[in-house]
Amino acid sequence: MINFEQKTKRDIYFKLLEKENKRLIDQKTGLLAKKYSNFIECPLCAFNRFKKLFIKNGFTFVRCLKCKLVYVNPQVNEYTIKSFYSSSKANNFWFQIMCSKTEKKWKAEYYKDALRLIEKHCSKNERSFLDVGCGNGQFMKIASKAGWNIEGVELNKKSVEFIKATYGYTVYNTEITEAPLKDNFYNVITMFGVLEHLNNPIQVLKFLKKKLKKEGILLAITPNVYSLYSMLLREKSKTFDGRNHLIYFSRETLLRLFKSLRFSVVSLDTVLTGKENIFKYIQFYEPYEPINNLYGLLDKKFLKDF
């Protein structure tokens, strides 16, 4: 049985990512090397005390003792992060995954659902749209077809070149806070899987809020650290990678982030993902290995309810 990771070639991506990450690890300590890292205060509340949760592949995952945010500390510094996003074998391979038929097929419905949610809360007369971390431009295309005037921001040079050549959209190949965006201009800003990658999410969101119109909408999608998937698999989850994913929000910490910046939260939801990996793990298999009889040991009623 081919699993989701193999079908989408994520298994190859994770191997490339692991190989690149090894270059950041001090061989003597087995931890993230000092020259690539910074010890930080909590990115949400600036408290400087935390509880260590676990160490994975040299990266230390902690939880703030005050606001309970989970994050990596020490953190890969911004210069190193930027160099990887601009160009690395793993990130360039991720671009290939985004452009594959398998990935685009399931992402199409995912993006359409997001657009329906946006349009539920936004006037149809307001059409200025910014997609931050726009990847291969698939969501930009969907929004554009729905009548939105779309722009994007993306660090990966290969992605930007593809979007411009394929669709002709305006995309700024720069860090978010360096993009030449107009103040009080956008009706909608989207961030699909961006928040968890940021060294300083508060700084970025303050910047983007200035670019939104007064009644504008910002949609952010990020992994839930207390999802069933994360809580069961813990450090075995691919979500915890240390280099790309720096911060891990829960419903509570995500709410705190947006409320601290005076956003009115009109919708907050979480979904169940990775069911196949969960089923493997609770049957004493490794969560990402191919299994032929995945559902054999589970009660059918349980599967239906699940």
More confident: 251 or 92:
251
Q: What is the pLDDT of residues 122-136, one digit of tens each?
A: 877 778 999 999 999
Give me 203's structure tokens.
């700084």
Cα–Cα nearest to 115, from 85, 145, 81: 145
CATH number of 4-280: 3.40.50.150
Cα separation of the two ends of the chain? 21
Q: Is 91's pLDDT higher than 90?
A: no
Give the CA distances from residue 205 to residues 200, 201, 239, in Å, rounded to whole numbers and listed in that order. 9, 6, 22
Look at the block and give the residue holding tokens 């999410």: 201
- Alpha helix (H) residue ranges in 32-100: 78-86, 89-98
Q: What are residue 170's DSSP bridge partners?
A: 151
Q: Average per-residue pLDDT in the chain?
A: 91
Q: What is the pLDDT of residues 144-198, one digit of tens each?
A: 999 999 999 999 888 999 999 999 999 999 999 999 999 999 999 999 999 999 9
Integer Cα distance of 215 and 167 in angstroms: 29
Measured in degrees and rounded to the nearest 5, phi and psi for residue 92 equal -70, -35
What is the maximal distance between C-alpha atoms in the chain?
A: 60
Supply the pLDDT for residue 84. 83
Instruction: Specify the pTM.
Output: 0.91
Measured in degrees and rounded to the nearest 5, phi and psi for residue 101 equal -60, -40
**Domains of the chain: which residue ranges?**
4-280
Q: What angle do CA 217, 159, 35 make, to 5 degrees?
A: 90
SS3 at position 9: coil
Is 132:191 a contact under the CB 8 Å cutoff?
Answer: yes
